[in-house]
Amino acid sequence: GIENATGTGKSLYSGTVSLTTNLSGSTYQLYDTTRGGHKTYNLAHKTSGTGSLFTDADNVWGTGAASSSSTDQTAAVDAAYGAQETWDFYKSTFGRSGIKNNGVGAYSRVHYGNSYVNAFWDDSCFCMTYGDGSSNTHPLTSLDVAGHEMSHGVTSNTAGLNYSGESGGLNEATSDIFGTGVEFFANNSSDVGDYLIGEKIDINGDGTPLRYMDKPSKDGGSADSWSSTVGTKDVHYSSGVANHFFYLLAEGSGSKTINGVTYNSPTSNGSTVTGIGRAKALQIWYKALTTYMTSTTNYKAARTATLNAASALYGSTSTEYKTVAAAWSAVNVS
């Protein structure tokens, strides 16, 4: 049957969280009927199929510790929490009801394969899948990663940015921008909002994040600014131009400390950019993505799309419009 319940999740990355679950008979299910029917499944180290729905007798899920056990609930807690917060972020920030804006939820699968160090969105299953990371004890289920993966579904169902060349970089950046938006939105004291991607999952084995939005080149591969060859890079590196644009638009250039993390964002043209705040920057990116970008949008066209969005939202003589122009110029997109 369907009976909403409030479970307690002991997550790996986000502390103890509240999860909306379903009570079916005397068994709780990791099934959220209040958010489009999102379900969390256990692949138990397989790499195909849907897996089995997580169930529990007392509605207290996970242990808060990493485990390679195929029955482990902790990775499922993080994935379910990520899907829940991402759903709420899109609803409350943009009035968007799920990935397709039709009220229908996706589903998530955890414990994919063995020591699989990645997570991914798949349009064909309309689902997100998470590997367990190295030694099966570093699942790629942190909040920003979950928000990143689910946002690939949103991009697929809106602009449809092709996943190669400059449009691919814009596709990747969109996932980093909204994944970061989710992290700030959740306001979780164990996983505070930042402009770093994957800072919790220790993918490099030395505690460093996967990506940096204030200065993308800190990862050793990403582009801080546009050049004519940026589209030949892997999409996770060409995304740097738009991630850097977004950071500058929201927070401005130079040094700034947010939630205890100090950023130092350069500009390619020596200019100073004063940020308009994350909330307005998110609205501009979302409107550009959902109204003005197409599958073939490149960096030059993204500049036009975000200027159109800023004009529609705040007016063509607004500070917001002028800052969009200045932030693109600061990453060498004119």
Q: Which residues are catalytic?
A: 149, 236
Q: How far apart are CA 98 and CA 203, in angstroms?
A: 29
Which of these ranges, 172-180, 202-210, 211-219, 261-269, lies near Zn ion under the rule CB under 5 A? Answer: 172-180
Q: How far is the CB of 34 from ligand ASN (least distance, A)?
A: 26
The residue number with the shortest CB distance to ligand ASN is 120
Consecutive H or E run containing 319 = helix 319-330
Residue 194 touches which of ligand ASN, Ca ion, Zn ion, none (CB < 5 to 8 A by kind)? Ca ion
Helices (H) and strands (E) in the chain, counts: 8, 15
Of 10 and 236, nearer to ligand ASN (C-beta) is: 236
Name the CA dihedral angle for 101, 294, 222, 276, rounded to a multiple of 10 degrees: -70
Our finding on whether 175 is near Zn ion (CB under 5 A) is: yes
* Residue ranges that bind ligand ASN, judged by CB under 6 A: 118-120, 148-149, 152, 172
DSSP string covering 182-241: HHHHHTBTTB---SEESTTS-TTSSS--SEESSSGGGGSS--SS--TTGGGS-HHHHTHH
- Using alpha carbons, select from 31, 27, 129, 22 the residue that is nearest to residue 75: 129
Task: Find which of Ca ion, ligand ASN, Zn ion, none residue 214 binds, CB within 5 to 8 Å per kind.
Answer: none
Q: Pick one of Ca ion, ligand ASN, Zn ion, none as the site partner of residue 134 (Cβ within 5 to 8 A by kind).
A: none
N-to-C CA span, the chain: 57
Contacting residue, 72, 144, 176, 219, with Ca ion by CB under 5 A? 144
Part of the chain binding Ca ion (CB under 5 A), chosen from 57-65, 136-144, 217-225, 246-254:
136-144
| Options 102-110, 130-138, 170-178, 306-314: segment touching Zn ion (CB under 5 A) | 170-178
Q: Exposed, middle or buried, 213 (CB in 10 Å: 0-12/13-18/19+)? A: buried
Q: Which residue type occupies 32?
A: D
Residue ranges in contact with Zn ion by CB under 5 A: 175
Residue ranges in contact with Ca ion by CB under 5 A: 144, 183, 194, 196
